[in-house]
Structure 1
Amino acid sequence: MLFTILFGFLSTLLLVPLGHKIKSKWSMVLPLIPASLFLYYLAYVPAVAAGSTFSQMIDWVPSLGVNFDFRLDGLSLLFCLLITGIGTGIFFYARTYLKGHPYYDRFFGYLLLFMSAMLGLVLSDNLLLLFVFWELTSISSFFLIGFNNEQEDSRKSALTALTITGMGGFFLVAGLILIANIAGTYQISGLIYSRDAIIQHELYPLALGLLFIGAFTKSAQFPFHFWLPGAMKAPTPVSAYLHSATMVKAGIYLLARFFPIMGGTDYWSYPLMIVGGFTMVYAAVHALFRMDMKAILAYTTIAALGVLVFLLGLGSKDAIVAASVFILVHALYKATLFLVTGIVDHETGSRDISRLSGLRKVLFPVALAAGIAALSSAGLPFTFGFIGKDLIYEATLHTEGNWPLILTAVALLTNICLLAGGFMAGIKPFFGPLPQAYEKLHLPPLSMWLTPLILAVLCLLFGILPGITGDFLSKATANAIFGAETHMHLKIWHGFNTVLLLSAITLVVGTLLYLINKPSENKLNAVARWNKLSPQYLINRFTDGVFKGSTLYTNSIHNGYLRSYHLKIILFAEALLIYKLWLSGPIQINWDQLTPLTIYEVAVVIILLGALLIVILTPSRLTSVVSMSVIGYCICLMFVFYSAPDLAMTQFTIDTLTTVLFVLVLYKLPSFLSLASPKQKFRDMIVALGFGTILSIIALKVLYEPVSKDTSNFYGENAYLLAKGKNVVNVILADFRGIDTMFETVVLSIAAVGVYSLLKLRLKSSEKE
């Protein structure tokens, strides 16, 4: 499993030197990467359907609980097949859709990076590893959403998506660490054994809330939903891949994965039912007012995600079965509709349904795919969507308590609006008279329209033969989510019952709504009047306030003057130290216990003060540097006086080297510029004297603190045993501070990349101005 993830990452790296080949004759190689991975995971279907699970464990940082632990069960297998299977179609589609684009190779590099990150996310069996891949999906999707980086809207949409999902990731990692601390393990499959301990813990509601925020932001639940319609600025292959089948369902995957661990309580059920229920109705109704095909699909996607959250909130066996089927149902018909939208936009230059009609006459295979997908989204018998919607109604009707009627009514309203939205995007552009402007249109290349047609055929095939997915895939998915055997068996006909009646009502009322509803600019503007109450408007106002506050803070605190930074840092340190000294109580100093001053110490201090005075008053940089070296050598002598020759030698070496380097660098620079006024000099003198006084008091106070040798004993006992080093100081620097050094190296590497990028930057004349 690790190899399949690395395979995508390595392919991404290979696109750097081989990108020019991909742009020409090697582009056919690209779809073979997800296709080979799809076949690899497809081979696992029989074994997983029989109840087997597969694990892979590789130590990485075991001391921190971070390991390459992967697990393949019914849930992760379903997502792996979606990621690689639909990914294969997207790669075939995109290689033609973006042909001739100057960043052709870069696009597929981002797409491969995202695919690998999603595979890592759904296969991870370690909480921290899951979070690493979770964030990697956010970063790679940022590049994909903002791919058209010359357009301001694309850049803004990418930043919005990254901000919302990144914020969710911050809350998620806090929740995951909290869960791991409660359970005592970072292994996800091991958390099930600590289910009772987690649920009964006093921090269970907090951990659950943090987990929910992470899932809601990624899966575009209200009030975090608005980033998804904005992300439609991305190229169509991105919308079809990320926003129908993969990225937006990462939050659904997270909730499904943690259902057997943390689900089944009121804290779990009611928030998910309320948020999911409100999101699906809100988004489904909003879709009816949109005129852009992508916008319609974006809001219906949000509604579908709300349905999945709603079902996971219900938590019954029927609801879990419905969710496991609907994940696949939605992925198939929504990816088809997105790809069809891309073809329509590619050929006509428009996605406005008020202008599009009759395209079936010139784009018949595309119209056929769109029609089948729209009918599946509507839940027409003999389509996969019919089975999915029947299962949703069955789940709501069989809910315990007094809620079945209300929950069923909410689901019915949502499905009616989703049917109308699906017809608006999948039927409306292809029926009616063909405008004269579109009479000369022709079919795009085969690789573009074949992918949506295959997905649409699958909507029919799985609807006619539901046992193909039910017995071999969806059943294993439902069992993995539910944490027990669901005895699921999909079939077309369940007899004349209430569920069939609800499906018929959905088809009839939804079709009438589609025929009656006429989206227009006036209706859209009427809805826009309420934008001041929308979460997006409120969050934008908040971010504007943050921006103004940060601007004020930056202009006052970070004004660009090094002397100002030094002054503020020292003042803050003084305030902090004074506060700590005040808390510690009065200082008791026994002057008789202090050793008397010697003539050597007094002489060194006098030399040190003289050198310091020269540093302050001299206009010459070289004189200042030499005087600073004298101060350093005086400190070396102090170390010698107090029996620390190793520190003295270190100080001597560093001071000598620093002085030589400064002389080499600064000898050609002009004299100091005296910009400080007498008042500023007096202020700086007071600050400096205050800092020195505080440190002197701390040094005297330390002399009378009780000595604890626990840390010294630990390093002395473990330096050789754990780090194989006899010099304790060297061991501390090289081994125990290894992580610190690693991050310092990372920071320097990032800085080096930034500097290199600036050196290689070639701006246009307009950009220079």
Structure 2
Amino acid sequence: MLLTILSGFLASILLIPFGRYLRFERGGFMALLPALLFLYLLSYIPVIGRGEVPFEHYEWVPSLAVNLDFKMDGLSLLFSLLITGIGTLIFLYAGSYMKGQAYADRFYGFLYLFMASMLGLVLSDNILLIFIFWELTSISSFFLIGFNNTDPASRKSALTALAVTGLGGFFLLTGMILMGNIAGTNSISKLTELAAAIRADNLYPLILSLVVAGAFTKSAQFPFHFWLPGAMKAPTPVSAYLHSATMVKAGVFLLARLSPVLGDTTAWSYTLMTAGGVTMLYAAVHSLLRTDLKGILAYSTISALGVLTFLIGLGTPEALTAAVTFTVVHALYKASLFLTTGIIDHETGTRDISGLSGLRKVLLPVFFAGILSALSSAGMPLLFGFVSKDLIYEATLHAEGQFAVFFTSIMVLTNLCLVAAGFMAGIRPFTGALPPEYSGLHLPHWQMWVPPLLLAICGLFFGVLPAIAGGSIVSPAVNAMTPEETEVHLKVWHGFNTVLALSVATLAAGTGLYFLNKPGIRKLRFAERFENLSPAAFSGRITAGFTRFSSWYTNIMHNGFLRSYILKIIIFAEILLAWELLGGGPVYINFDRLSSAGIYEIVNILILILAVVLTVTTSSRLTAVVAMSVVGYGICLMFVYYSAPDLAMTQFTIDTLTVVLFVFVLFNLPPFLNVANKKIMTRDAVVALAFGSILSITALKALQEPTETTVSKFYSDFAYTLAKGKNVVNVILVDFRGFDTMFEIVVLSIAALGVYSLIKLKLRPSEKE
């Protein structure tokens, strides 16, 4: 399993430096890796069917309990097959769709990175490892959504998606750390065994809120859904792969994976059912108001994700069976519809359904793919969507309590809208008369129309023979989510019953709604009236407010003037030191414990005072530098008086070098300072005097504290025996604190490079402005 994940990362890494040397006229060969991985993963079906759960363990960061633990159970296998199987067709499709793109190599590199990250996420058995792959999917999707980086709308959509999913990732990490601390382990398998203790802990509500928030942001649940329609700025292969089949289902996968740990509580059920129910109905209605094909598919995808969240929240074996089956169904028909939309856009140059019709006459195989996918989404008998819809209605009708009718009614209304939305996207562009401007269209390269057709045919195949999917894929996935063994038997015919009546009624009413719903600009304008109340607008206002605050804060705290930075640092240090000094009450200093000053010290101090006065009063830069050097040399003498010749020599060297550097820097500057603002001078004088006074008091108090010699004795005792050095100070700097010194040297080296770059920088007059 580890090699399966690493193969995608390796391909991504190799494409970044060497991809430009490859020829991408037809990049279909990029589909070879996901195809091989798909075939390899198929070999696990009989293994999982026998009840085995392959597991791999590699130590990575054992001190933090972050190990490379991978588990292949039914749920992991289901998502791995979707990632690699649909990924194979996406790569094949992209080979023709991305033809002529200047940065096709970069595109494939990001796509491989995403595929590997998703495989790592669904195969991981360590919650912190899941988080790492979770964030990698967000990062790779950021680059894929913003692939057309010259388009401001693409950049904005990518940033929005990264901001929302990144915030959710922060919540998720916090919740997982709390959960791991309670259980004392980060292993999901062990967390499942300790589920009762986690649910009984006082922090359970907080953990539940954080984990659910993370999952909701990734899976675009209300009110975090708004990033997904914006992400449709991405190239069509990205929309089909990330935003229908894989990435947006990462949150659903997480909820399914953690349902044995956090589920089986009313808080879990009500939270997921409420969010899922609101999302599925809200987005389904919105899908009918759109005229852009990608917009229709985006909102219908959000609605489908709401259905999945609702079913996981319902939590019964029937609901989980319906959720797993619908996951496969939705991935097949929605990926096919996205790819079909890409072909229409590629050939006609538009995605507005109000101007598209009759394309079956010029794009016949694409029409077959579209109509099969649309009928599967509607739940037409003999298609896999019909089996899925029956299971969903069966789960809601058999829900415990008095809410069964209510749940079923909400699901029927949602499916009515989804039937119409599926027909709008998969059938409307192909029916009616062909406009004259499209009469010259022709089929694109087979790499573009074969993948959506294959996906649509898969929906037909599993619809006729659902037992194949039920026994090999659905049943093991459901058993991975429930503590008890559940036998899943998918079949086409369940007899004449309420479920069948609801399915037929939904299909009929949804078809009628499709014919009644005429796309147009009036509906969009009607929806725009409520835009200010939408979560997207609310998020925009928060972003604008945060931007204004950031601008204000930057202008105050980071205005680019060195004197401002120094002033704020000193004031902050004064506040901290004063708080510490005054926190214990009045400050008393016993001057009797201080040693008396000799004539040499007194004379030296007088010289220091005169040098300081000269420094702050002179108007000559060079005079100020010389006076400051006198201060430095005076301090050197103080070190000599108190038996610290090594410090004196160090100080002397530094002061001499500083004076030389100051002279070089100031050589070409005006010789006099013109400081006319008396208020600034007074402020700086007050701050300086306060800082000096506080430091003086701190030093005097430190002199009266009992001397602790443990550390100094250790260094003096072991300087020679351990470090083979007789100069204790040098040994401390080079050996005992060698890493500190090394990093200080690195920092100074970086600063020196920066200064050198600025000195050598040559700008044109326009750039200087």
Q: Same fold (TM over 0.5)?
A: yes
Residue 484 of structure 1 aligns with which residue?
Answer: 484
Shift of 1:238: 0.8
Whether 2:65 is the aligned partner of 1:68: answer no
**Paired residues for 1:259-278 under 5 Å:** 259-278=259-278
Whether 2:78 is the aligned partner of 1:78: answer yes
Q: Which residue identity lines up with residue 134 of structure 2 in the other structure?
A: W
Q: How many residues align?
A: 767
**Worse-matched range after superposition: 520-529 or 605-614:** 605-614
The 2-side partners of 1:227 and 1:314 are apart by: 26
Give the direction of change, closer, same or farther, for the CA distance of 1:123–1:618 in structure 2 (3 Å limit).
farther
Shift of 1:429: 0.9
- SS where residue 70 of structure 1 aligns? strand
Give the direction of change, closer, same or farther, for the CA distance of 1:530–1:546 in structure 2 (3 Å limit).
same
- Check whether the contact 1:117–1:134 (CA below 8 A) recurs between aligned residues: yes
1:188-223 Cα distance to aligned partner (Å, 9 max, x none): 322123212211111111111111111111111111
The 2-side partners of 1:290 and 1:588 are apart by: 76
1:702-734 Cα distance to aligned partner (Å, 9 max, x none): 4566788999999999999xx9x9999999999
- Check whether the contact 1:621–1:667 (CA below 8 A) recurs between aligned residues: no
Residue 247 of structure 1 aligns with which residue?
Answer: 247
The 2-side partners of 1:153 and 1:755 are apart by: 37
Shift of 1:390: 1.3
Shift of 1:91: 0.9
The 2-side partners of 1:644 and 1:764 are apart by: 52
Shift of 1:423: 0.7
**Paired residues for 1:91-240 under 5 Å:** 91-240=91-240
Residue 373 of structure 1 aligns with which residue?
Answer: 373
Residue 329 of structure 2 aligns with which residue?
Answer: 329
- Check whether the contact 1:629–1:656 (CA below 8 A) recurs between aligned residues: yes
**Worse-matched range after superposition: 334-343 or 116-125:** 116-125
Give the direction of change, closer, same or farther, for the CA distance of 1:625–1:237 in structure 2 (3 Å limit).
farther
Residue 566 of structure 2 aligns with which residue?
Answer: 566
**Worse-matched range after superposition: 1-10 or 272-281:** 1-10
Give the direction of change, closer, same or farther, for the CA distance of 1:623–1:49 in structure 2 (3 Å limit).
farther
Q: Which residue identity lines up with residue 58 of structure 2 in the other structure?
A: I
**Paired residues for 1:503-522 under 5 Å:** 503-522=503-522
1:227-281 Cα distance to aligned partner (Å, 9 max, x none): 1111111111111011001111111111111111111111111111101001000
- Check whether the contact 1:232–1:295 (CA below 8 A) recurs between aligned residues: yes
Q: Which residue identity lines up with residue 693 of structure 1 in the other structure?
A: S
Q: Which residue identity lines up with residue 3 of structure 2 in the other structure?
A: F
Q: Which residue identity lines up with residue 194 of structure 1 in the other structure?
A: L
The 1-side partners of 2:289 and 2:81 are apart by: 34
- SS where residue 354 of structure 2 aligns? coil
- Check whether the contact 2:26–2:95 (CA below 8 A) recurs between aligned residues: no
The 2-side partners of 1:26 and 1:565 are apart by: 56
- Check whether the contact 1:23–1:104 (CA below 8 A) recurs between aligned residues: no
Give the direction of change, closer, same or farther, for the CA distance of 1:517–1:127 in structure 2 (3 Å limit).
same
1:275-294 Cα distance to aligned partner (Å, 9 max, x none): 10010000001111111111
1:658-695 Cα distance to aligned partner (Å, 9 max, x none): 66666666655554653452321121011011112222
Give the direction of change, closer, same or farther, for the CA distance of 1:455–1:664 in structure 2 (3 Å limit).
farther
- SS where residue 185 of structure 1 aligns? coil
Give the direction of change, closer, same or farther, for the CA distance of 1:648–1:744 in structure 2 (3 Å limit).
closer
Residue 463 of structure 1 aligns with which residue?
Answer: 463
The 2-side partners of 1:743 and 1:72 are apart by: 43
Residue 282 of structure 2 aligns with which residue?
Answer: 282
- SS where residue 244 of structure 2 aligns? coil
Residue 678 of structure 2 aligns with which residue?
Answer: 678
Residue 447 of structure 2 aligns with which residue?
Answer: 447
**Worse-matched range after superposition: 498-507 or 628-637:** 628-637
1:293-321 Cα distance to aligned partner (Å, 9 max, x none): 11000000000000011011111111111
- SS where residue 244 of structure 1 aligns? helix
Residue 345 of structure 1 aligns with which residue?
Answer: 345
Give the direction of change, closer, same or farther, for the CA distance of 1:285–1:476 in structure 2 (3 Å limit).
same
Whether 2:435 is the aligned partner of 1:435: answer yes
Give the direction of change, closer, same or farther, for the CA distance of 1:765–1:557 in structure 2 (3 Å limit).
closer
**Worse-matched range after superposition: 57-66 or 638-647:** 638-647
Shift of 1:458: 0.8
- Check whether the contact 2:27–2:94 (CA below 8 A) recurs between aligned residues: no
Shift of 1:471: 1.4
TM-score (norm 1): 0.90
Whether 2:11 is the aligned partner of 1:11: answer yes
1:329-359 Cα distance to aligned partner (Å, 9 max, x none): 1111100000000000101111111111111
- SS where residue 27 of structure 2 aligns? coil
Shift of 1:601: 4.3
Give the direction of change, closer, same or farther, for the CA distance of 1:69–1:744 in structure 2 (3 Å limit).
farther
- Check whether the contact 1:226–1:536 (CA below 8 A) recurs between aligned residues: yes
The 2-side partners of 1:747 and 1:473 are apart by: 55
Residue 585 of structure 2 aligns with which residue?
Answer: 585
The 1-side partners of 2:198 and 2:640 are apart by: 58
The 2-side partners of 1:156 and 1:439 are apart by: 36
User: What percentage of residue pairs aligned between the two structures are identical?
Assistant: 62
Give the direction of change, closer, same or farther, for the CA distance of 1:415–1:615 in structure 2 (3 Å limit).
same
Residue 318 of structure 1 aligns with which residue?
Answer: 318
Residue 258 of structure 1 aligns with which residue?
Answer: 258
Shift of 1:650: 6.1
Q: Which residue identity lines up with residue 497 of structure 1 in the other structure?
A: N
Give the direction of change, closer, same or farther, for the CA distance of 1:640–1:39 in structure 2 (3 Å limit).
farther
Gaps of 5+ in 1: none
Residue 385 of structure 2 aligns with which residue?
Answer: 385
The 1-side partners of 2:424 and 2:755 are apart by: 50
- Check whether the contact 1:632–1:651 (CA below 8 A) recurs between aligned residues: yes
The 1-side partners of 2:507 and 2:114 are apart by: 37
The 2-side partners of 1:416 and 1:726 are apart by: 86
Q: Which residue identity lines up with residue 46 of structure 1 in the other structure?
A: P
Q: Which residue identity lines up with residue 434 of structure 1 in the other structure?
A: L
The 2-side partners of 1:502 and 1:344 are apart by: 33
Q: Which residue identity lines up with residue 9 of structure 2 in the other structure?
A: F
Residue 359 of structure 2 aligns with which residue?
Answer: 359
- Check whether the contact 2:611–2:631 (CA below 8 A) recurs between aligned residues: yes
Residue 699 of structure 1 aligns with which residue?
Answer: 699
Q: Which residue identity lines up with residue 546 of structure 1 in the other structure?
A: F
Give the direction of change, closer, same or farther, for the CA distance of 1:711–1:236 in structure 2 (3 Å limit).
farther
Q: Which residue identity lines up with residue 251 of structure 2 in the other structure?
A: G
Give the direction of change, closer, same or farther, for the CA distance of 1:233–1:734 in structure 2 (3 Å limit).
farther
Give the direction of change, closer, same or farther, for the CA distance of 1:599–1:120 in structure 2 (3 Å limit).
farther
Q: Which residue identity lines up with residue 323 of structure 1 in the other structure?
A: A
Residue 502 of structure 1 aligns with which residue?
Answer: 502
Gaps of 5+ in 2: none
- SS where residue 101 of structure 1 aligns? coil
- Check whether the contact 1:321–1:486 (CA below 8 A) recurs between aligned residues: no
Give the direction of change, closer, same or farther, for the CA distance of 1:304–1:549 in structure 2 (3 Å limit).
same
**Worse-matched range after superposition: 8-17 or 318-327:** 8-17
**Worse-matched range after superposition: 494-503 or 293-302:** 494-503
Give the direction of change, closer, same or farther, for the CA distance of 1:750–1:55 in structure 2 (3 Å limit).
farther
Residue 30 of structure 2 aligns with which residue?
Answer: 30
Shift of 1:172: 1.6
The 2-side partners of 1:741 and 1:486 are apart by: 62
The 2-side partners of 1:447 and 1:185 are apart by: 47
Shift of 1:749: 12
- Check whether the contact 2:172–2:210 (CA below 8 A) recurs between aligned residues: yes
**Worse-matched range after superposition: 7-16 or 334-343:** 7-16
- SS where residue 382 of structure 1 aligns? coil
Q: Which residue identity lines up with residue 524 of structure 2 in the other structure?
A: L
Shift of 1:105: 1.6
The 1-side partners of 2:5 and 2:718 are apart by: 38
The 2-side partners of 1:471 and 1:535 are apart by: 41
The 2-side partners of 1:42 and 1:742 are apart by: 52
Shift of 1:66: 2.7
What is the alpha-carbon root mean square deviation over aligned residues?
3.9
Q: Which residue identity lines up with residue 218 of structure 2 in the other structure?
A: K
Give the direction of change, closer, same or farther, for the CA distance of 1:98–1:403 in structure 2 (3 Å limit).
same
